[in-house]
């Protein structure tokens, strides 16, 4: 990796909404640096004449028919929900 790239691991951690210890900061900074180094290596590959694609092989007709089936009972659907209210799953607020 070129030495010009500086990783602000504290900003990355804030964006990911995670708290890191000093040891984790050092470890993840090193790991992220390795990932960026590999990406930098990929940018050096000559791809002249290579068509862009989303898959290595052509993918056709991957979807099955959309057929309505029997509904799942509410009690069964909510069986593993950590919290529920009025037949709905209760989740923490994520928008401030």
Residue 90: which residues within 8 A CB-CB, separation 6 or more?
81, 82, 83, 84
In a domain, 70, yes or no: no
42-94: pLDDT as tens digits: 889 998 988 888 888 887 877 888 899 999 999 999 999 999 999 999 998 88
What CATH number corresponds to the domain at position 32? 1.10.20
- Write 54-59 long-range contacts (CB < 8 A, 24+): none
69: in domain: no
For the chain, the average pLDDT equals: 87
**60 within domain boundaries:** no
Looking at the 3D structure of the chain, how many domains does it have?
1
Domain of residue 35: give its range.
Answer: 1-45
Is the pLDDT score of 17 beyond 70? yes
Read off the pTM.
0.46
- 39, part of any domain: yes
Beta strand extents in 1-96 (DSSP E only): 84-85, 88-89
Is pLDDT above 60 for 38?
A: yes
Q: Is residue 35 part of a domain?
A: yes
Q: Does the residue 24 lie in any domain? A: yes
pLDDT of residue 5: 65
The token duo for 66 is 């959309």
Distances (CA, A) of 83 to 78, 88, 95: 9, 9, 19
């Amino acid at each position: 990796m070129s030495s010009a790239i500086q990783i602000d691991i504290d900003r990355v951690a804030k964006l990911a909404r995670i708290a890191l210890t000093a040891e984790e900061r050092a470890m993840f900074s090193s790991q992220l640096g390795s990932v960026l180094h590999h990406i930098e290596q990929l940018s050096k590959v000559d791809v002249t004449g290579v068509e862009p694609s989303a898959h290595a092989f052509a993918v056709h007709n991957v979807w099955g028919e959309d057929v309505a089936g029997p509904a799942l009972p509410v009690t069964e659907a909510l069986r593993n929900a950590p919290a529920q209210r009025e037949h709905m799953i209760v989740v923490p607020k994520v928008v401030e």
